[in-house]
Amino acid sequence: MPEAPGEPRTVVLGERELAIGFRLIGLKDVIEVTPDSSAHEFQKAFASGQFNLIIASQSIKSRLSESLRFAADSSLKPLVVFVPTPGGEYEVESLNALAKRVLGVSLSVTG
């Protein structure tokens, strides 16, 4: 069934293992990347305006230019979430940092 125009879309960009996992759960917009193609593919998806959510492998983040990394970290449309790859190193975004980035509010409690 084709997607209706303007319907929210999610894209996943990642290495083979990550791509296979998301295809298995039924996502259609999955782009398998290599170290050489990852920054270009990310930039294409980010700038396309077609996606509301970009799920990208954590390894891609380190290959982005500083300006694109900043744009991705501060973007709400599309919202960009970096996920760890199986067996890879990763950086964990705290719940407070995620809420601040997405909602613009701090979850910290002062006493």
Domain spans of the chain? 10-103
Are the CB atoms for 12 and 18 separated by under 8 Å? yes
pTM of the model: 0.75
What's the DSSP call for residue 62?
Answer: T
- The 10s digit of each residue's pLDDT in 9-62 is 999 999 999 999 999 999 999 999 999 999 999 999 999 999 999 999 999 999
Name which of 57, 96, 59, 52 is nearest 75 in CA terms. Answer: 52
Q: Domain 10-103, CATH 3.40.50.300 — does that match?
A: no
- Render pLDDT for 52-93 as a digit per residue (tens, 0 to 9): 999 999 999 999 999 999 999 999 999 999 988 766 655 555
Strand order in the sheet with 30-32: 30-32, 10-14, 53-57, 79-83
